Amino acid sequence: MRFDTILFDLDGTLTQSGEGIEKSVAHALRTLGYPVPPEERLREFVGPPLYESLLKIARVREEDVSRAIEVFRERFREVGWRENRVYPGIPDLLSGIARSGGHSIIVTGKPEPLAQKVARYFGLDRLLDGLVGTRYDERRSDKEHLIARALEGRNPGRVAMVGDRRFDIEAARRRGFFTIGVTYGYGSREELEQAGADQIVETPQALREFLEVPLPRGRFLTFEGTDGSGKTTQLNRLRARLEEMGYSLVFTREPGGCPISERIRQVVLDIGSLGMSDECEALLFAAARAEHVRSIILPALAAGKIVLCDRFLDSSIAYQAYGRELGEDLIRQINAPAVGRLKPDLTVLLLTDAATALGRQRAAHASDRMEVEKAQYFDRVLAGYRRLSEQEPDRFRVIDAAGSIDTVYSAVEAAVLDFLH
C-alpha cells in the first residue's frame, strides 16, 4: 500500500451527505428570514466550514450567523444526518486498508458528536482508527488544526489526505502531506487542481486502485425459508440498507437470476405445470442453478462483490429432498455439477410454523404451483431446513419469523452486519 495513514474528509468523500446539509441550510435561512439560494449554490455548502459559507454564500449578517448555525444543527441532528448514504465501495476501501496494516482517520469540519453518530449509523466506525471533528462551541473549523489533532501522539508514517474540496487539499499541503482530490464528491476538478492536489481520482474504485488497496474477497449470502416466512420482504429491506451503507452488491434469486434461469423458473412455478414429476422438478431447479452460478454468482464474487441471493441449494434440499421425499443424497448428487465447490458464506434462515406461512402467502397473492401444497408437505420442508441448520450451525443464522416485520428485520440486520464486520 502506498501510505501508512490515510486521512479522509467525511462529507463528499466517504458519504453523500448533500441532501441533509442542503435541506438544513435552507431551513435555517428560511427560519431567519433570508432568501434560499438556488440549488447549485446550496451545493457549495457541502464541505467548507458552515460559518464562512453562511457569510459568503448566503450573505447572512455576522450577528445572525451563530443563530443560523444553531437552527441548522437542530434540523440536522433530528433528521438531516440520515439524509445521507455512503459512496459505493467505501466499506471495501476502508476494510482493505485495515487488512493491509494501514490506518484510516476521518478529519471533518462537522461537529465531532454528529460525525460519530453518522459513522456509527453507517457502520464506518468499525473500520476506522480515529475520528476528529470540531466542538459544538467552535465558530470556525481550521482543517489544518484538525489534521494536527488527528495525528497527535501517533507515528503515522507515510500520510495522505483524501478530500473533495480545496479546504482539505490546502490544509494537508501546508502540513507537507500527499493530497488526493476526489471528483465524485462536491468539488470540481478545476477547484482541486487549483488547490494543488497531487492526485485526482473520479471514483472510490479508482481511489482504491491508486492507494494499492487489494480487491476484497467476494462474499456469498443466501436467504432461506418457506414461502410465507417473510423472506423476500426482509431481503429487500436489507438490500436497501446495505446499499445505503456503501456495500457493492449483486442482488439475485433462485430459481432465476439470469435470462435462461428465469425461463426455467416460469416452467417450474407455472400453475399449468401441475403434474410435473418430482424428479423433473428437481432437475429443472439444478439446471437453472448451473446457469445462474456461472453467469451471475461466480463473476460477482470474483469482482469482490457481496452476492445476496434469495434461495440457493438449501431450498432444493428442503423442498425436494425433504418435501418431495426424494432424499438428500440424490438432490446433492444432481446439484453437484451446478454448484461445484461453491457454498454460501452465510445463510439467514427465517422459520415460522406451516400454518402461519401458508396463511401469509395466500393472503398476499395467488398461489403458484409450488405453493399449492398440503400442510404436511410444508412440515417436511421445515424439518429439512431445521436439519440443515443443525448440520452447519456456523453457516446458518436461524431467525424466528413469527414476529413483526420490524422485529424480524432487526434480527436479520444484526446477523448480517455482525458477519460483514
Tell me the binding residues for ATP.
Answer: 225-232
Note whether 269 and 254 are same-domain residues.
yes
End residue of a domain, out of 40, 60, 82: 82
Note whether 36 and 151 are same-domain residues.
no
304-339 per-position pLDDT tens digit: 999 999 999 999 999 999 999 999 999 999 999 999
Arithmetic mean of pLDDT over the chain? 93
50-71 per-position pLDDT tens digit: 999 999 999 999 999 999 999 9
Note whether 118 and 246 are same-domain residues.
no
Note whether 321 and 366 are same-domain residues.
yes
Q: What are the residues whose beta carbons fall under 8 Å from the beta carbon of 228, sequence distance 6 or more?
A: 352, 356, 357, 358, 359, 360, 361, 362, 364
Q: Transcribe 168-189 into DSSP letters.
A: HHHHHHHTT-EEEEETTSSS-H
88-134 per-position pLDDT tens digit: 999 999 999 999 999 999 999 999 999 999 999 999 999 999 999 99
Residue 384, SS3 per DSSP: helix
Note whether 356 and 263 are same-domain residues.
yes
Q: Reply yes or no on whether the pLDDT at 48 is more than 60.
A: yes
Whole-angstrom distance, CA of residue 55 vs CA of residue 49: 10
Q: Residue 74 belongs to what domain range?
A: 18-82
Q: Reply yes or no on whether the pLDDT at 8 is more than 60.
A: yes
Note whether 184 and 136 are same-domain residues.
yes
Percent of the chain with pLDDT over 70: 94
274-307 per-position pLDDT tens digit: 889 999 999 999 999 999 999 999 999 999 999 9
- Read off the C-alpha cell for 278: 418430482
Note whether 53 and 100 are same-domain residues.
no
Q: What are the residues whose beta carbons fall under 8 Å from the beta carbon of 37, sequence distance 6 or more?
A: 29, 57, 58
What is the arithmetic mean of pLDDT over 7-29?
Answer: 97
pTM of the model: 0.87
Whole-angstrom distance, CA of residue 272 vs CA of residue 200: 58
End residue of a domain, out of 211, 238, 269: 211
175-209 per-position pLDDT tens digit: 999 999 999 999 999 999 999 999 999 999 999 99
CB hemisphere CA count around 367 (13 angstroms)? 17
Residue 134, SS3 per DSSP: strand
Note whether 359 and 235 are same-domain residues.
yes
350-368 per-position pLDDT tens digit: 998 766 666 656 655 555 5
End residue of a domain, out of 149, 180, 211: 211
Note whether 124 and 46 are same-domain residues.
no
The pLDDT of residue 370 is 56
Note whether 337 and 352 are same-domain residues.
yes
Q: What is the CATH number of the domain that holds 375?
A: 3.40.50.300
What is the arithmetic mean of pLDDT over 217-230?
Answer: 93
The pLDDT of residue 275 is 83
pLDDT confidence of 271, banded at 50, 70, 90? Answer: confident
The pLDDT of residue 157 is 95
pLDDT confidence of 374, banded at 50, 70, 90? Answer: confident
The pLDDT of residue 366 is 56
392-407 per-position pLDDT tens digit: 999 999 999 999 999 9
Note whether 251 and 365 are same-domain residues.
yes
Q: Reply yes or no on whether the pLDDT at 140 is more than 90.
A: no
The pLDDT of residue 359 is 63
> How many domains in the chain?
3
Tell me the binding residues.
Answer: 225-232
Q: What is the CATH number of the domain that holds 151?
A: 3.40.50.1000
Note whether 118 and 187 are same-domain residues.
yes
